[in-house]
Structure 1
Amino acid sequence: MSEQSFFIPKFFENNDYFIDEKVNYFKFGNTYNVFDKSGEQVGVINQKVTGWHKFLRLFLNKAMFPFLLEVHNMDNDLQVSIKRGWTFWMSKIVIVDSNDKTIGTIKQKFKFFKPTFIIENAEGKTIARITGDWKAWDFKINDANEKPIGTINKKWGGVMKEVFTRADKYYVAVNPDYTEIANKMTIVSCAITIDMVLKNNK
């Protein structure tokens, strides 16, 4: 599919995403609000957990469980889903668009607190890597040629410095010069859900 014919939802046209976890002590799933750099909410990320999965999580390691994350815009339109099947160790994560068409996959490597996410397109070609330190919450996003194209951290300024004051938030920034729009949707999907993916591997 050519860059010209590839449609990218408006949600993914942003280059700055501020992710804010909504704490809910009575649910097993997570919900995150997504804001742009002006402080306007642009979407929501929900973790879908079935009733019997909630029950089994009381007895089994949640790192084994399948998970489903859904990204919606403010009109509640599904933008993308990130899902994984049952696993015993670092299985492949699949990213699908709103038509349930696979647009990419994520492969994980984890060494102590330094995870690596290898992001591939639908054809299995590596398009980016996310590497960093989970404990320090400092990640770098590089393209397939190891050129920096973005960051994930807990550092921000401007209006969001006043809005985001708690630690359970993080900031995803994509280089505005990155023009591979067919890949951007897949890369951003991985980047904005990185906290949820890591928590499901604990």
Structure 2
Amino acid sequence: MNRLEVTASGSTLGYVVQEWSIFVPKYEVQNAAGECVLRIEGPFCTWSMCGDVEFKVLSHDRKTQVGKITKQWTGFVQEMFTDADHFGITFPMDLEISIKALLLGACFLIDFMFFEKSNNE
């Protein structure tokens, strides 16, 4: 399982930890103490033709959606012939700044895990 540590000025803000799941990508967003503050759940299929791919940002108990991380469709030519991607992140305005930074880190992790291509692909 993957684990991303997010730091600022040498101090740890928290972690984004991949959870084991068979069907959908799941992540736990943890504060610096390792306590779960948010969860992220992706779609069954992370490859989408002519549409956005949405990862839901949920409360720690998974009862409410509080935001989303979206890989935005940029058009056929850019999607097929380049490795450039566009992402959007939505979250509550009153969310702690450290948690916002953790969601930005989660966006990078999701991009590297599902949307970056190696030289052989």
Moved over 4 A (4+): none
**Which letter maps to 2:6?**
I
Q: After TM superposition, give the deviation of residue 180 of structure 1 in Å.
A: 2.4
Residue number in structure 2 paired with 1:171:
87
RMSD of aligned residue pairs (Cα, Å): 2.8
Q: How many matched pairs? A: 104
1:96 aligns with 2:7: yes
Q: Which runs of 5+ in 1 are unaligned?
A: 1-89, 157-163
Q: Which amino acid aligns with 2:25?
A: P
Matched, 1:142 2:54: no
Q: Percent identity?
A: 23
**What's the offset of the Cα at 1:152?**
2.2
User: Do the aligned residues in 2 keep the contact of 1:94 with 1:104 (CA within 8 Å)?
Assistant: yes
Read off the aligned partner of 1:142 and give its amino acid letter.
L
Question: Is this contact kept in 1: 2:16–2:105, CA < 8 A?
Answer: no
Matches within 5 A, 1:47-66: none
Quick check: 2:6–2:101 contact (8 Å CA) kept in 1? no
Provide the residue aligned with 1:127 in structure 2: 37
SS at match of 1:188: helix
Does the Cα contact within 8 Å between 1:114 and 1:132 map onto a contact in 2?
yes
Which residue pairs with 1:183 in the alignment? 99
Contact 2:38 2:58 in 1 (8 A): yes
Rounded Cα–Cα distance in structure 2 between residues aligned with 1:172 and 1:91: 22
CA contact (8 A) 1:152 1:170 kept: no
SS in 2 for 1:114: coil
- From the superposition, tell whether residues 135 and 117 of structure 1 become closer, same or farther in structure 2 (CA, over 3 Å): same
Q: Indicate the residue corresponding to 1:11 in structure 2.
A: none
* 1:173 maps to amino acid: I
Does the aligned pair in 2 maintain the 1:119–1:127 contact within 8 Å?
A: yes
Conserved 8 A contact 1:102-1:122: yes
1:91–1:195: structure 2 CA closer, same or farther, 3 Å change rule?
A: closer
Q: Which structure has the greater CA radius of gyration? A: 1
